C-alpha cells in the first residue's frame, strides 16, 4: 500500500505566541476528520515526521491522504524558537535580552502554554473536525503528557505516546546512543539516518530526562482522555515487551481508555523505519476511534452503541 500526497501540500509555518516564534510543518485539508499534532523527540526537528527517503514514511502525507490535518510542531527551544533558548545556565535571563521568553521556555508550564498557543495560532481560521489529537515520540512525549495532564487537555481527542518509558532497556548501558536509536539497521531504509535533520537540544531536556521517572506517574494520573502507548519490538533505549507496556498503561489511572501496542519490525525511530506506514496508520486509526467516541458522546450516547 502506498499513501502519498504531493509534497507541495506540506508547508512551513511560523506563528507568534506572545512574542515567541513557534514553527511547524503543516499538511492541511479543508474539512478534516480531526487534527493530529505531532511532537518530535530530542535533537531533531519537526522534519522527523516528514521523511521522504522512501515512500510512505511521512506522517504528514499519510494523515492528509486520509482526511486529517497534521501539524508537526517544533517544540519550544527548537525551530524558530531556538534562538530564545540558551544552551548554558549562564545564558538564562539575559540571552538575546529575552528574559521573559527564556523563562517561559525553561519551565514546564511555560512550554505547555507555548504548545497550546502555537496550536491555536496555527489553526486560526482552519476547521478542526472532531478536535485535536496529540502524538509524541521519545522526548516529545514529555511535553505531550504535560499538555494532556493540563486542564486544557480534557478537550483533546486523545493521546499517543511512543518510544518513551521509565526504565532503561537492559542492554542500554552496553551500547552508544547512536546504536540504540538505529539498531538493527535492516529495519531502516538506506539514507534514513543521513537525511534526518538534527538540532541542538535545549538545556531543559537534561532536567526532563533526569526527572522523567518521578514525574511521569503523577502526570499520567491527571490525564482524562484516551491514551495509546506504543513501543517497537526492537526498542533498545527503553525497556519493552508486554510487562513494560502494561506498567506504563497502568499509570494512566484517570483515562477512560488505555491501549498498548508493540509495533512489529520497528526500533526506536518508529516514524523513520520500514514499518513507519504501518505505525502511522495504527495511530490514525486510534485517532479515528477517538473522534467517533467523541461524536457518540456529543449525541448523548457515550457507550457508542
What tens digit of pLDDT does each residue of 238-290 get? 999 999 999 999 999 999 999 999 999 999 999 999 999 999 999 999 999 99
Strands (E), the chain: 10-17, 20-27, 35-39, 69-73, 132-137, 158-162, 227-232, 258-263
Where do we find the cell 526492537?
A: 234
Domain assignment present for 216: yes
* Residue range 90-130, pLDDT digits in tens: 343 334 445 555 667 889 999 999 999 999 999 999 999 99
Q: Is residue 139 assigned to a domain?
A: yes
Q: How many Cβ atoms are within 10 Å of 108's Cβ, its own excluded?
A: 18
* CATH number of the domain residue 154 falls in: 3.40.50.1820
CB 231 within 8 A of CB 138: no
pLDDT (mean) for 170-178: 83
Residue 186 in domain: yes
In a domain, 117, yes or no: yes
56 within domain boundaries: yes
Asked if 194 and 223 count as a contact pair (C-beta separation under 8 A), the reply is: no
Is residue 304 included in any domain, yes or no?
no
Residue 246 placed within a domain:
yes
Domain of residue 172: give its range: 7-298
Residue 1 domain flag:
no
Domain count, the chain: 1
Question: pLDDT digits over 229-251, tens only?
Answer: 999 999 999 999 999 999 999 99
Question: Residue 58: CB partners within 8 Å, gap ≥ 6?
Answer: 5, 10, 49, 50, 51, 52
Amino acid at each position: 500500500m502506498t499513501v502519498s500526497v504531493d509534497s507541495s501540500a506540506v508547508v512551513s509555518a511560523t506563528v507568534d505566541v506572545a512574542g515567541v516564534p513557534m514553527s511547524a510543518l503543516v499538511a492541511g485539508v479543508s474539512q478534516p476528520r480531526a487534527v493530529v499534532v505531532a511532537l518530535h523527540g530530542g535533537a531533531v526537528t519537526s522534519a522527523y515526521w516528514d521523511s521522504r527517503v522512501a515512500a510512505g514514511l511521512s506522517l504528514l502525507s499519510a494523515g492528509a491522504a486520509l482526511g486529517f490535518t497534521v501539524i508537526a510542531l517544533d517544540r519550544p527551544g527548537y525551530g524558530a524558537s531556538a534562538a530564545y533558548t540558551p544552551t548554558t545556565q549562564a545564558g538564562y535571563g539575559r540571552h538575546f535580552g529575552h528574559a521573559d521568553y527564556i523563562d517561559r521556555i525553561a519551565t514546564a508550564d511555560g512550554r505547555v502554554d507555548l504548545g497550546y498557543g502555537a496550536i491555536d495560532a496555527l489553526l486560526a481560521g482552519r476547521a478542526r473536525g472532531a478536535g485535536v489529537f496529540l502524538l509524541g515520540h521519545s522526548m516529545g512525549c514529555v511535553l505531550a503528557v504535560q499538555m494532556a495532564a493540563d486542564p486544557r487537555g480534557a478537550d483533546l481527542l486523545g493521546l499517543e505516546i511512543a518510544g518513551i518509558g521509565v526504565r532503561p532497556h537492559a542492554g542500554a548501558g552496553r551500547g552508544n546512543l547512536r546504536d540504540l536509536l538505529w539498531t538493527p539497521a535492516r529495519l531502516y531504509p538506506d539514507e534514513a539516518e543521513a537525511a534526518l535533520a538534527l538540532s541542538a537540544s535545549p538545556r531543559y531536556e537534561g532536567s526532563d530526562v533526569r526527572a522523567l521517572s518521578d514525574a511521569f506517574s503523577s502526570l499520567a494520573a491527571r490525564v482524562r482522555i484516551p491514551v495509546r502507548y506504543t513501543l517497537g519490538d526492537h526498542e533498545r533505549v527503553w525497556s519493552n515487551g508486554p510487562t513494560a507496556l502494561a506498567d506504563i498503561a497502568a499509570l494512566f489511572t484517570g483515562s477512560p481508555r488505555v491501549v498498548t501496542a508493540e509495533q512489529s519490525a520497528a526500533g526506536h525511530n518508529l516514524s523513520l523505519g520500514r514499518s513507519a506506514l504501518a505505525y502511522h496508520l495504527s495511530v490514525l486509526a486510534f485517532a479515528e476511534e477517538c473522534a467517533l467516541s467523541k461524536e457518540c458522546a456529543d449525541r448523548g450516547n457515550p457507550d457508542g452503541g
